Amino acid sequence: MKKNNNLFQPELMNEALKQSFIKLNPAKMILNPVMFMVWVGTLVMTGVCVWIALGEGNQGSLVYNLIVTFVLFLTLLFANFAEAIAEARGKAQADSLRKTREETPAKWVNHLGELKIDEVTLISSSQLKKGDIFICEPGDIIPTDGEIIEGLATIDESAITGESAPVIREAGGDKSSVTGGTKVLSDFIKVKVTTEPGESFLDKMIALVEGASRQKTPNEIALTILLAGFTLVFIIVTITLKPFGDYANTPITIAAFISLFVCLIPTTIGGLLSAIGIAGMDRALRANVITKSGKAVETAGDVDVLLLDKTGTITIGNRKATHFHLANGVEEKHFIKSVVLSSMADETPEGKSIIELSEKIDEKSEVKNEISLLTSHFSPTYITFTAETRCSGIDIENTRIRKGASDAIRKIVEKAGNLFPKETYEIVKAISSNGGTPLVVSENEKVLGVVELQDIIKPGIQERFERLRKMGIKTVMVTGDNPLTAKYIAEKAGVDDFIAEAKPEDKMNYIKKEQSEGRLVAMMGDGTNDAPALAQADVGVAMNSGTQAAKEAGNMVDLDNDPTKLIEVVEIGKQLLMTRGTLTTFSIANDVAKYFAIVPALFITSIPALQGLNIMKLHSPETAILSAVIFNAIIIPMLIPLALKGVAYKPIGASALLRRNLLIYGLGGVLIPFIGIKIIDLIVAAFM
């Protein structure tokens, strides 16, 4: 995906300006109570100008009222522009994605029985239905979303992720998902369609970035209600000035009433609120994360607990067999033969590495030839790995070979009435203590030895966990390893807690436990077995390369397939919440200065005692009102870059962040208008 971080590109500016006028439609304006009241005020002032033009002489000069009306109109346009520029950025991204989603031919396999290449028919990608099967060869554009059911291929996903480096996708496991619009660079794959027409990943992305499916988040709705309440309060405040004015024999014009009202209501945050929400989802997208709702981004900002898989997240992930440890009395050749047979149907990187190590040791290919002869005479039955059994293997010629976690193999051995060798237990313990993963191999329920797998902790991961700790977030490592290995990796990586020998239900139970104690939990996963936990978590991030079940269960999808992306997601969420909070603080603080600008200026001639409140010493009531209204209008576009980029987040703790933001945006929100209004007053006075 092409990323352009320039906020104000000419083409976006033109579109946003056009939309600023379109959004003046009252049906759209009423959705924002604060700006709708400004719209009503502008309409009233337009009527006042017409009234003055017809001869009314008690409402001030026509020029003065026209200027007030024009500035109010600009306030509306600026507010609409803030929302429109955020939407325009999304639409530009959507247009880029549409080019990726162009109609592509699909090599549809028209029979589900004996699949042959000559049974392939070329059809339009739009004709593909869920459950259909198509094939892709080098150079083909993948027509729609699906899961590989046969083969493997190198795929260019740059159209989606923006990353030029190709990735490998293959049948089986958790890297089987492919996305429509990506390109096959090598090899051959057979894919099963997982979505209906118009519901592909790209279609959903387009709808999201365009804002078509954006709904206000609970926090955004709550703030809108709060701002509407403020607006109602200031209607009452403004109206009560009328009897005060009559009592003090101070005529207050309609322009003054409306100007004061518009300046006192939180127009700054009212004009920027939608833009902040849209920009939050946009920032997530620019981090190559697709969010199914703005609520997910917000929730990420409040996360207390982070569940991370060990393999591929904390460690590099491609565990490799590094050593074979034989049990007493077992020949090396026999062990190699057994371990290769048990790994023949194992498509995982671990299984492949075991065969690679076996081939290095078996230099003369004696074992390889024996296995070829054996498998040609007997039909083996392969036992696939499951999270429940935690072992895999093969049954061939009355021989049962199993390979798996030490506790799983131990149960099998002891259930058959055999002993689990003490020396094997010591080897398992030693491997685990050194951060490795031991796989015990048995034949006919008797231990043959141990395969040692080693993984490497990702560089810099400790620093990232320390950053999370400063945010107040607890990190939990989830692994299928035994407790000793898990403890070693956890301590070395710097995580706060770990779940060892984890089954799918263990993740679920841990999440439920943390949630029952009032904490918000985030998790990342890519496999079908992760789907229940992803659905249960408050923030579930699925990898784009993962299974369809995982992507449907999560409320976010990471296009980069980076397991540490959760850390960035949390920071984006915190940044969104901070931006909304700080700009709300700034907006309300603004009102204090504008109050001191207008009210004393209105009554100072009739009530000299108010001179003490006339801090700014503005030129006249008219210039005071104009200055306040002008400042109120121009502060909105000045804050648009901040609303779109977000307030900078630093992991310095909640209390420190609050103090910093109150100082900058609270105190700054009070002081800046005093300075700004005074400067504008000096300029306005020069022309009046």
Catalogue the active-site residues. Answer: 309
Placement of tokens 């509407």 in the chain: 228
Q: How distant, in Å, are the alpha carbons of 204, 526, 555, 557 from that of 201? A: 5, 16, 13, 10
Q: How far apart are CA 626 and CA 628, in angstroms?
A: 6
Task: Please compute Rg for the chain using Cα positions.
Answer: 33
Q: What is the 3-state secondary structure (H, E, C) of 349-365?
A: HHHHHHHHHHHHHCCCC
Per-residue buried b or exposed e for 478-489, using 16+ beta carbons within 10 Å of the residue's own CB: bbbbbebbbbbb
Q: How far apart are CA 10 and CA 13, in angstroms?
A: 5
Sheet of 437-443: strand order equals: 320-326, 446-454, 437-443, 399-404, 391-396, 381-383
Question: Are the CB atoms for 415 and 437 separated by under 8 Å?
Answer: no
Q: How far apart are CA 356 and CA 352, in angstroms?
A: 6
Q: How far apart are CA 127 and CA 132, in angstroms?
A: 10
SS3 543: strand
Q: Nearest-CA neighbor of 443 among 373, 395, 386? A: 395
Q: What is the 3-state secondary structure (H, E, C) of 189-205?
A: EEEEECCCCCCCHHHHH
Q: How far apart are CA 195 and CA 582, in angstroms?
A: 41
- Please compute, for residue 351, the number of CA atoms within 13 A of its CA located in the half-sphere on the CB side: 17
Q: How far apart are CA 362 and CA 613, in angstroms?
A: 93
Q: Nearest-CA neighbor of 635 among 272, 149, 225? A: 272
